Amino acid sequence: LELKRMSVSREHRGRGLARALCREVLGFARARGFGAVVLSTSMVQVAAQRLYEGQGFRRVGSSYPSLLGTLLNFQIFHYRCDLGDGT
């Protein structure tokens, strides 16, 4: 399952909503038999990286989104959370 574009509006940040949403996605995927959840985030999204790593995701790679990204050394980080069998 791929998690795309999860966001919490600025005025609602710091309340644990992103953490709860992430747990919900992991539970949703696990309940439906998915073996893993994958996502990508940019190198500047440090808070997002901490959130995902705290939820059990591990960085599995990186890439450049474009030639300009390569020239600017702007990377996209790829993450994966293996769900196991849920037991």
Q: Tens of pLDDT along 20-75?
A: 999 999 999 999 999 999 999 999 999 999 999 999 999 999 999 999 988 998 99
What are the extents of the domains in the chain?
A: 10-82
In CATH, what number does 10-82 get? 3.40.630.30
- What does the alpha-carbon distance between residue 4 and residue 53 come to, in Å, rounded to a whole number? 16
Please state the pTM of the whole predicted model.
Answer: 0.88
Residues found in the chain: 87
CA-to-CA dists, residue 85 to 33, 36, 43, angstroms: 8, 10, 31
Phi and psi at 44, nearest 5°, equal -85, -10
pLDDT at residue number 87? 45
pLDDT confidence of residue 84: 82
Per-residue tokens: 33 = 């038999």
